[in-house]
Amino acid sequence: MSSHIEPAGHPLLAEVNPVAIPRQELVHHGRDFHWITEKVCGIVEAKTPVWWWWCFGVAAFVASFTVAGLIYLVGTGVGVWGHANPVNWAWDIVNFVFWIGIGHAGTLISAILCLLRQKWRTSINRASEAMTIFAVVCAGIFPVFHVGRVWMAWYLFPIPNANYIWQNFRSPLEWDVFAVSTYGTVSVLFWYVGLLPDLGTMRDRFTAAGNLLKARLYGFFAMGWRGSNRHWANYEMAYLILAGVATPLVLSVHTIVSFDFAVSLIPGWHTTIFPPYFVAGAIFSGFGMVMTLMLPLRAIYRLEDLITQYHIDCMCKITLATGTMVGYAYAMEFFIAWYGANPYEGFAFINRAFGHYAWAYWIMITCNVITPQFFWSRRVRENTTLVWILSIFVNVGMWFERFVIIVTSLARDFLPSSWGYYSPSIVEIFTFFGTFGVFSVLFLLFIRFVPIMPMSEVKAVIPQADPHGTGH
Amino acid sequence: MTAPAATHSPAAAPAPTAALAGKFLVAGLVGLALTAAGFFLAHDSAGVALSYLVGISYWSAVVIGMLMLVLIHHIFDAGWSVVIRRQFEHGLAAFPWLFVLFLPLLASAWLKPGLIWPWMDLSHELHGGHTVGTDPLYLKKASFLNVKMFTAMTVGFFAVWIWLSARLRKASFTQDADGDKKWTFMSRKTAAFGIPLNALALTFAAIYWMKSLEYHWFSTMYGVWFFSNCIRAALAFGVVITVWLYQRGDYKGIYNTNQFHCLTALAFAFVVFWAYITFSQYFLIWNANVPEETFWYNIRESGDWWWIGMLLLFGHFFVPFLFWLVYRNKATRAPALKISLWIAAIILVDICYNVLPALKDHHGVPQPFFSVNLLWVLTSVVGIGGICGWAYLRSFARTKLIPIRDPRIVESLTYHEATAP
Amino acid sequence: MTMKKSYGLIAAFDSTPALFRACEQVRDAGYTRWDATTPFHVHGLDAAMGMRRSKVPRFSLAGGVAGFITGMSMIWFVDAFDYPLIVGGKPYFSPMFAFPVSYELTILFTAFATIGGMFLLNKLPMHYHPLMKAPQFVRAMDDRFYVVIEAADPKFHAAQTRALLAQAGGQDIAELEE
């Protein structure tokens, strides 16, 4: 980029002489379009690697815990879980919020970073969107199965039923039904729309290679995409609008999830800051999971030219920023619990830190407030192993945050005669850990069969794509 | 690149701003004088004082928003906003004056406690008979709500704001002269710790200055609400300043539709954000229906305050939202200016909605919005705004129009990324 | 073997700036039935082709309004009209509690309308198209750019159009079969 610009009507422009701090390049080593196509398609076209089979086997085995746990639950009854008065929501809801929260980073990367024109999103957005979809699947298991009589779960939808009764729209749980369904649907649609051009590419490559079965399969889903600019114009507009609606969607979904708690009057639950606090926390945990997934992928598939240190830096900084927002919310909650002088609210906070679940509280504080602070250091951000470990701590911390919020407030609410203690049953534990297997199975299938990066979007951000020849 | 050929006729140098600055100063002093006259002569000096608080809060919101936007610009290493950032930096020059203008309020806290903030006067009688001094809800937070803390914290807030502004301004203005990279890195560091610091400062300022007027009430969302208005105000004035500079001719060759569109798109995003925050706060209190919290909104639904609430819903959210939805309105100067002026006015209404109902009669019924206090709100806004405008213009005259040596200035001038609907 | 009807001419370009300039020239020459094929969306190409803004937003707006109205009316019907239930002392209908679901339906319907509109305007799925039969097409989805001018265009003239494309920098100019 030239350092002077032609003065075209303003004398000051002649003095413009920016100091040189070049923008980070998004793709290293000046890779061209064809290299990108080969790199990404090569992963799908290659024979399934051995490590993939091992991982898949382990993941499927772990996923079987969830299957077994759910079958046992439905066959025997909700009593096999550890819930009892007064703690009627526990691991089930914690896990639900945990997984939904993870999903939010995918939509943030796809939608919000698109609206903010952050070009670095292009190499990680498809995998993150896939992560979102699979996280929503894992999340959805819990509200569906925690109702007890699962075969009547369809009563949650406003469809006429034999009891002639309608749903209670004053309940946040009903709003959750709509929020999570919409989120799942729109995430799939957004992900699919983003896939269209790449499916076209895969179709044509399989055709050229003579693999007609795969060509027809990918071609079916490609809808006849042929790269026409007249199509691109409508496509880009649709993509932008989807990004524009997915953004308020992701904010609203976790807001509505936070409403599950905040619309009540239970101490520790009823605080007005819950909506943005939950959203920030969700993005925080989601970015943790994105890094947990992308860093190994980057190493295994040698994607360092496409997922550069700049990408990792940005992800770490967003994790740090959202972690700080969560910290702000903790501080506000604590301060206002004191300021509001409500004795129950004050007790709830003291109890969290020093009561029966204090161990959970301090794990939460360590993982959520202290861990992200490491990302201030450039040396830490450049050490991918360390970043990976920290990203796992982020998710551990966020799981414990939901646990602390839900269980401590229920275990010790207004009347001491209603107090109780909760611990999870073995069925719950296996069901939850199994969902990591479910997630992994789906994610492994994704990386095996679907191009993990949106080739067309990555190509669009390299200097070669600039129609004015000057490079972005 | 070779030296520019003198083949173009340079744009006519825009008129110096000294005269305009003078006009703002006069307007400011007149407004302040009228407000002072009202305070000393009018029957209800508490009403005048509260209206003055509205004015201070309003203009503080504008300048705090500008500070936040400059900080956010640096932390993101943004490209499009370099041009407008210089104008926000000039806006930050108002902070020391805002502190000076806050001093009468501090003085009233020491000399006539309880005039504005009831908790400052322990013998102030509350609705229901007993006094602040015997109110357990006060005593529990007496270590926070006392005049000494209030003063110290207010001084602290302004210290933080003035210090952050000074750092940012110095870095930006000095870089014009010496083109040293270190100023950019210094600004980024300032932003990294400045954003949390500013967040806490504006939160506690909102709590002390506005929320504590009705100290029985509490909301963890309040700081975020204030933040949303601060940003909206700064963006609205950003549009006003941009259009003003274009009309004067300063921005010929500098103004870029895509850059402008980024500014207005951000304003659009914050319409939604404000609505989200305000709705969340209202809805959670509505749904739980706990009298300790709902009374604050109940007061604001009595008399003409209900209509003001509706005005906020439609005028601060619906109308700007539908308006900004259309691409043409975002990308064209004239419509964008209109809606930005409207938003700037409605933010004032929002601050009034938060502050003025604290004035209650013996039955606990708030004075209506349409009362003589509006006159004092007007004089305060003109008075304080005049001084802020004067400070802005004085700073404006002292530096280059754009940060000519900023690393992203060319990106900003040639910004070509707009593809939004 | 019968002569296949000609669909039009196709020309290849190896760099984004070359394609951009060529499109401007084709646009300025007055062609209307033509297209550019790119492996990714090229910035500013829409204007270089003389295209107008996409009409997808109209679909989106219609979807959004429909979603919001559906949400609010459904909730009113269900909770205040057909089978009113007293829950927690809340009113039978209030835009407050009806808002979350209506908001979600707004987004859902907007998403469907947007995608549906995009497919409709693009006339997709269209699994068959003369362009896709061309052997060079596999590179269109990879790293090369093409301009296709249809024979059905009123200004189309085999020799002149070919000359225009060649002069604009097109490589491997060939005829496309129908």
The predicted complex's ipTM stands at: 0.93
* Range 38-97 of B in CB contact (< 8 A) with A: none
Write the DSSP symbol of residue B42: S
Which pLDDT belongs to residue B12? Answer: 43
Instruction: Please compute the mean of the pLDDT values over residues C119-132 and round it to a whole number.
Output: 91
C117 touches chain A (CB under 8 A): yes
The b-or-e profile of A198-210 (16+ CB within 10 A means b, else e) is bbbbbbbbbbeee
Can you give the length of chain B in residues? 421
Lowest mean pLDDT among A358-362, A465-469, B246-250, B396-400: A465-469
* Residues of chain C neighbouring A166 (CB-CB closer than 8 A): 78-79, 82-83
Q: Helix crossing, A229-262 with C56-76: angle to 10°?
A: 30
Residue of chain C with shortest Cα separation from A263: C97
Cβ of C96 and B416 within 8 Å? no
A217: three-class secondary structure by DSSP: helix
Lowest mean pLDDT among B226-240, B359-373, C103-117: B359-373
Q: Which residues are paired to B131 by β-bridges?
A: B125
Residue A284 lies in a domain: yes
Which pLDDT belongs to residue C144? Answer: 92
Cβ of B419 and A333 within 8 Å? no
* Residues of chain C neighbouring B287 (CB-CB closer than 8 A): 90, 96-97
* Residues of chain C neighbouring B278 (CB-CB closer than 8 A): none
* Residues of chain C neighbouring A252 (CB-CB closer than 8 A): 100, 103-104, 107
Higher per-residue pLDDT: A7 or B246: B246
Q: Domain count of chain A?
A: 1
C-beta of residue C140 within 8 angstroms of C-beta of residue C39: yes
Cβ of A15 and B280 within 8 Å? no
Residue of chain A with shortest Cα separation from C95: A170
Other beta carbons less than 10 A from residue C146's beta carbon: 27
* Residues of chain C neighbouring B282 (CB-CB closer than 8 A): 96
Q: C166 to chain A, minimum CA–CA distance in Å?
A: 19
B253 touches chain A (CB under 8 A): yes
Cβ of C44 and B416 within 8 Å? yes
C-beta of residue A139 within 8 angstroms of C-beta of residue A106: no
**Per-residue pLDDT band at C141 (split at 50, 70, 90):** confident
Question: Alpha carbon of A337 to those of A270, A358, A419, C99: distances in Å?
Answer: 11, 18, 21, 28
Domain positions in chain C are 6-52+130-177, 56-121
Residue A99 lies in a domain: yes
Pairwise CA distance, residues B358 & B366, whole Å:
7
Handedness of CA B152, B156, B159, B165 (dihedral sign): negative
Cβ of A201 and C39 within 8 Å? yes
Residue whose entry in the numeric block shows the structure tokens 């300022």: B205
Tell me which long-range contacts C160-167 makes (C-beta under 8 A, separation of at least 24). C161/C9, C161/C31, C162/C9, C164/C25, C164/C26, C164/C29, C165/C9, C165/C11, C165/C22, C165/C26, C166/C11, C167/C25
Of C43, C57, C96, the CB nearest to B421: C57
Instruction: Please compute the mean of the pLDDT values over residues B77-85 and round it to a whole number.
Output: 93
Q: How far is CA C118 from the centre of its chain?
A: 5
Pairwise CA distance, residues A109 & A105, whole Å:
6
Residue A31 lies in a domain: no
Cβ of A17 and B224 within 8 Å? no
Residues in chain A with pLDDT values less than 50 = 1-7, 472
Write the DSSP symbol of residue C35: E
* Range 354-413 of A in CB contact (< 8 A) with B: 376
Q: Kindly state the helix (H) or strand (E) to which residue C149 belongs, with its residue range.
A: strand C145-150
- C66 CB-contact burial (10 Å; exposed 0-12 / middle 13-18 / buried 19+): middle
* Range 15-44 of A in CB contact (< 8 A) with C: 32-34, 37
Q: What dotted CATH number matches C6-52+130-177?
A: 3.30.70
Q: Kindly state the helix (H) or strand (E) to which residue C36 belongs, with its residue range.
A: strand C34-37
A465: three-class secondary structure by DSSP: helix
A169 touches chain B (CB under 8 A): no
A265 touches chain B (CB under 8 A): yes
Give the β-pairing of C6-13 and C145-150: antiparallel
Handedness of CA B304, B305, B306, B312 (dihedral sign): positive
On average, the pLDDT of chain A sits at 92
B309 is written with which tokens? 């609430």
Cβ of B220 and A271 within 8 Å? yes
Q: How far is CA B377 from the centre of its chain?
A: 15
Which pLDDT belongs to residue A472? Answer: 45
Question: Alpha carbon of A124 to those of A185, A382, A457, B214, C175: distances in Å?
Answer: 21, 18, 11, 48, 40
Cβ of B287 and C96 within 8 Å? yes
Beta-sheet strand order (sheet of C171-177): C34-37, C145-150, C6-13, C171-177
pLDDT above 80 (res B307): yes
Pairwise CA distance, residues B145 & B120, whole Å:
8
A249 touches chain B (CB under 8 A): no
Residue whose entry in the numeric block shows the structure tokens 């205040």: C80
To 5 degrees, how large is the angle CA C64–CA C67–CA C72? 130
Pairwise CA distance, residues B388 & B411, whole Å:
30
Residue of chain C with shortest Cα separation from B288: C88
Write the DSSP symbol of residue A315: H
Residue of chain C with shortest Cα separation from A468: C17
CA atoms within 13 A on the CB side of A452: 26
C-beta of residue A23 within 8 angstroms of C-beta of residue B417: no
Residue of chain C with shortest Cα separation from B322: C61
Return the partners of chain B (3 or more C-beta pairs < 8 Å). A, C
A385 touches chain C (CB under 8 A): no
C-beta of residue A371 within 8 angstroms of C-beta of residue A401: no
CA atoms within 13 A on the CB side of A441: 17
C125 touches chain A (CB under 8 A): yes
Residue A142 lies in a domain: yes
Of C87, C127, C143, the CB nearest to A168: C87
Cβ of A10 and B11 within 8 Å? yes
Residue of chain C with shortest Cα separation from A245: C107
Which pLDDT belongs to residue A9? Answer: 65
Give the β-pairing of C6-13 and C34-37: unpaired
C-beta of residue A110 within 8 angstroms of C-beta of residue A189: no
| Nearest CA-CA partner of A26 in A334, A304, A257, A400 | A304
Express each pLDDT in C67-92 by its tens digit.
999 999 999 999 899 989 888 888 99
Which pLDDT belongs to residue A8? Answer: 55
Which pLDDT belongs to residue A14? Answer: 86
A16 is written with which tokens? 């413009």
Residue whose entry in the numeric block shows the structure tokens 């919409």: A182
Pairwise CA distance, residues A350 & A75, whole Å:
40
Furthest CA-CA distance within chain C: 82
